[in-house]
Structure 1
């Protein structure tokens, strides 16, 4: 059996063994609870270096990759956050930032638990260490998101300086998405390496295939889901005022599933014997 076929069959078995659909649903639920605290964190940090009101326009420039309903939910909350935030470096600001980080940390804890399942390890970190790791990863994720927003602003300015308007528009779109996917892959790499409870860290190159696969697939599936919702999915007719919430939950679920699929691919490529030995012990 070829190595590729072995990995494909192994990942298929892992998806069933780990109940990946159920686990991804749990991650999506906690991600949904953490979306607005995470936005508060982004607004607080972003406001230290730029006008936080521009965040909303930058998010909308992601275009078809994010469903319109999700953008509307986020935009309405951003308006409230921007109008009520305090941009001064005070104790109140620091406390508010910590509260936002702690609230957003629910999603990162769920991600860590899900990755533990995917890579066949038990959670053995103490309360302090586990929360310190997940809080740091939450902060890093927020910073990566801010960098991604900055790229959306900076790239068009740089490109339009040297090229004609028509060429600049095309190149801007291509470069922005390449950089965005690159940042997404980099974030996935960091999470795959540091979120699970491991005594010995995996080398970066061993985690790269799953991160690239999930990063690209995340953007593709997100755009496809956005197209479907915009043209065929009439969730507002079925769920009424909750339609946007349902779309957001489904979008988060798809993203969580794709992200965890990359972890399963890495686990099967690098250490298939761990799953085999665990099965042998359970017999």
Structure 2
């Protein structure tokens, strides 16, 4: 096995050295050393790539993502119980049904089928005793997940945490409330948007089809902006302040795009190709859900590594 590993290393090293001798590759490297992309703080693309690759290789991304996804998984169900326990008390006609339809569109079909009855029971039947218990559990596990995210950020190859555990917990509580507020806004936009548009059409206040289409698409654009804002907030307040990032950053943009692409792609794969339920039975749903969380945890850490690489590369250039 050791000989095979050494041969593979030698093989890829030869390919790498051969590529460097290529005139086209040298031109590409020279070009990347001059290219400064928006959001890269005037740091050349080549420098960012060098630090980014180093951070991915030596930062144990997959191990950090595994720990992070476990804490996210623990936090999701208490949060769902708390928020959904509030829904039966909302006096809006068909709100509960609209929310269930939204979740059905977003969650992979096999995963939604496993939790559909539970969600329906929580959403349709008021249970006051779940509110207090759900709030305590949701806050405890949600702050644990945000704290785990901070630790994952600061275990990067480029930085270490310098905050106390108490201060870290306070920041986590603040981020939990802020992110919860963003989630509520996004759900309200997606749920009430069609209701408002239908009311405008019914009262002949909105008749132009182009305007109707733009308003319908607008709710998704606003939701996308909220997602971007959520990632920007995590990247700005989550890590140690020894490493300063812009609030609107390249890492936030990359994470938002990859998050959407991964969610859509994973949903398509599960619904059309994967057969987890036939192989593993009902536990296959949990496997699907945990894989989705794990992939998105990797995406969040990759976006953070990009921000860290830009920051460190800029600092290194400043000391030369």
The two structures have a TM-score, normalised by structure 1, of 0.81
**Aligned-partner Cα distance in 2 for 1:48–1:84:** 7
Structure 1 residue 244, shift from structure 2 partner: 0.5
Structure 1 residue 101 corresponds to structure 2 residue 139: yes
Structure 1 residue 77, shift from structure 2 partner: 4.0
Alpha carbons 2:276, 2:285 under 8 Å: kept: yes
Alpha carbons 1:102, 1:135 under 8 Å: kept: no
Alignment counterpart, residue 119 of structure 2, candidates 40, 54, 78: 78
Structure 1 residue 9, shift from structure 2 partner: 3.6
Alignment counterpart, residue 196 of structure 1, candidates 218, 234, 239: 239
- CA deviations 1:2-61 (Å, max 9, x no partner) are 422332343222111111122112111111111111213433566676669945642532
Structure 1 residue 168, shift from structure 2 partner: 7.5
**Aligned-partner Cα distance in 2 for 1:165–1:64:** 27
Structure 1 residue 93, shift from structure 2 partner: 4.8
Q: Which has the higher relative contact order, 1 or 2, with Cα contacts under 8 A spaced 6 or more apart? A: 1
Structure 1 residue 232, shift from structure 2 partner: 0.3
1:132-211 matches, cutoff 5 A: 132-160=170-198, 161=200, 163=206, 170-171=213-214, 174-199=217-242, 201-205=244-248, 208-211=249-252
- CA deviations 1:48-84 (Å, max 9, x no partner) are 7666994564253256543123334554443454436
**Alignment root-mean-square deviation, CA:** 3.2
Deviates more, 1:164-173 or 1:62-71: 164-173
Instruction: Call closer, same or farther: CA 1:147–1:70 in 2, change over 3 Å.
Output: farther
Partner of 1:257: 298
Secondary structure, in 3 states, of the residue corresponding to 1:271? helix
Alpha carbons 1:217, 1:258 under 8 Å: kept: yes
Instruction: Call closer, same or farther: CA 1:198–1:45 in 2, change over 3 Å.
Output: farther
Instruction: Call closer, same or farther: CA 1:56–1:185 in 2, change over 3 Å.
Output: farther
- CA deviations 1:236-283 (Å, max 9, x no partner) are 12221111100000100111111111111111112236799xxxxxxx
Structure 1 residue 22 corresponds to structure 2 residue 63: yes
Alpha carbons 1:118, 1:264 under 8 Å: kept: yes
Alpha carbons 2:149, 2:238 under 8 Å: kept: yes
Alpha carbons 1:28, 1:256 under 8 Å: kept: yes
**Aligned-partner Cα distance in 1 for 2:111–2:310:** 35
Greater C-alpha Rg:
2
- Gaps of at least 5 residues in structure 2 are 1-32, 35-43
Partner of 1:241: 282
Structure 1 residue 85, shift from structure 2 partner: 3.1
Alpha carbons 2:88, 2:126 under 8 Å: kept: no
Partner of 1:66: 107
Partner of 1:281: none
